[in-house]
Amino acid sequence: MSQSKDGSQTVVQWEDRGAIAIATIDRPKALNALNLDVLRGLKDLVETKAHREGLRAVVLTGAGDKAFVAGADIVAMQEYGPAEAEAFSLEAQALGEAIERAPVPFIAAVDGFALGGGCELAMACDMIFAGPKAKFGQPEVNLGVIPGFGGTQRLVRRVGHAIAMDLCLTGRMIGAEEAVRSGLASRAVDGSALDAAIEAAEQIAAKGPVAIRMARRAIHEAADSDLRSGLAAERSLFALCFATADQKEGMAAFVGRRPAQFTGR
């Protein structure tokens, strides 16, 4: 771990790489387990650095080669009462909402375990890339509790009622291929999920930034509305794209057979 300016340990690293950034949860000895420091540190970065001008996409990963995030920090949680548990859940859910509200897409790069809170954190991202050793699950019932970081809600929206019940009630783990088949993950990759996620982030960075924002909004609308309402939202967002310089540039570049130079306006 690196040291912050006040001498405290930094549990989340942020690396800017031009139009993309990589956020790394840096607790490898604890398999990157989520405690309050991680939740608050990552939320602060999402609400500040993810809003910088020129940023187009963020890759979220975990340090080491064993886990994205193996879950919530059980050592910290075991003495909680109901009030402390609810406050912890609120912090985690606020992080998930901050990621979803961010102006740029997030890609979770999962190499290793993404269990419990780790699976829930990954599901708050726009896409999940899974490496060969990726393992997903909501094993909270093994501890006598239920998912509390958004798992019962986002899992249903990703995989449907039947598979969500299966995963949450049995606590079983699934690998990359099953995660993709079920709709939990976006891609199963043969090599490093981090490398694949960085490549995808760079591809996104080359597209029209306004269009990326509008597409994300429209897709989020689909999860929370009926088809008629979703189509109306899509129609409005589609129309708004035609008030942007990016639309004029993108179509002019296509007609002129040249690469588009998007400005995000």
Clarify whether residues 116 and 41 are in a common domain.
yes
Clarify whether residues 75 and 192 are in a common domain.
yes
pLDDT, tens digit (0-9, with 9 covering 90-100), for 83-95: 999 999 999 999 9
Backbone angles phi, psi at 80, to 5 degrees: -65, 145
If you average pLDDT over residues 182-196, what whole number do you get?
A: 97
Cα separation, 169 vs 151, whole angstroms = 12
DSSP-derived 3-state class of residue 219: helix
155 contacts 167 by C-beta, under 8 angstroms: yes
Domain-located, residue 243? yes
Clarify whether residues 153 and 168 are in a common domain.
yes
77 contacts 92 by C-beta, under 8 angstroms: no
Local confidence band at 264 (pLDDT 50, 70, 90 cut-offs): confident
Clarify whether residues 243 and 142 are in a common domain.
no
Q: What is the pLDDT of residue 5?
A: 37
Domain-located, residue 265? no
How is 75-115 classified by DSSP, letter by letter?
HHHTT--HHHHHHHHHHHHHHHHHHHHSSS-EEEEESSEEE
From the DSSP assignment, how many helices (H) and strands (E) are in the chain?
Answer: 11, 12
pLDDT, tens digit (0-9, with 9 covering 90-100), for 193-241: 999 999 999 999 999 999 999 999 999 888 888 889 888 988 998 899 9
Number of domains in the chain: 2
The domain spanning residue 251 has which CATH number? 1.10.12.10
If you average pLDDT over residues 121-141, what whole number do you get?
A: 97
Q: How many CA within 13 A on the CB side of residue 59?
A: 31
Clarify whether residues 103 and 90 are in a common domain.
yes
The domain spanning residue 28 has which CATH number? 3.90.226.10
Domain-located, residue 174? yes
Q: What is the pLDDT of residue 258?
A: 93
Q: Is the pLDDT of residue 2 over 50?
A: no
Domain extent at residue 129: 2-205
Q: Is the pLDDT of residue 7 over 60?
A: no
149 contacts 117 by C-beta, under 8 angstroms: yes
Clarify whether residues 179 and 156 are in a common domain.
yes
Clarify whether residues 243 and 155 are in a common domain.
no
Annotated active-site positions, please? 120, 140
Clarify whether residues 227 and 127 are in a common domain.
no
Domain-located, residue 262? no
Q: What is the pLDDT of residue 9?
A: 54
Local confidence band at 6 (pLDDT 50, 70, 90 cut-offs): very low
If you average pLDDT over residues 47-55, what whole number do you get?
A: 95
Q: Is the pLDDT of residue 1 over 70?
A: no
Share of the chain above pLDDT 90, in %: 84
Clarify whether residues 13 and 115 are in a common domain.
yes
pLDDT, tens digit (0-9, with 9 covering 90-100), for 245-263: 999 999 999 999 999 999 8
Tell me the pLDDT of the chain averaged across its residues: 93
Clarify whether residues 241 and 198 are in a common domain.
no
Clarify whether residues 130 and 157 are in a common domain.
yes
